[in-house]
Amino acid sequence: MNNLGVNVKLNGDQITKAGFDNENFVLTAMVTFVHRKDGSNAFAFDVGGLDSEANKHVDWLNVKLNTTIN
């Protein structure tokens, strides 16, 4: 089996690589954008997963990003 991974770039710069050399795993890449009633915003990007063979959660990246809406 060829395992999958993610190579994350932000504005052309690589910020992380994530993946496992296991047969059983969970890999997540999640973008969260919140726009509130008061007009404020929140923007976050998270990359993590589960090493199913070791039963351990892994976090590669948890960042809050600047938000500008034009």
pLDDT in tens, 12-45: 999 999 999 888 999 999 999 999 999 889 999 9
Structure tokens at 21: 């050399």
CB 47 within 8 A of CB 8: yes
19 CB contacts (<8 Å, ≥6 apart)? Answer: 3, 4, 5, 6, 27
Asked if pLDDT for residue 10 goes beyond 90, the answer is: no
Q: Is the pTM here over 0.85, yes or no?
A: no
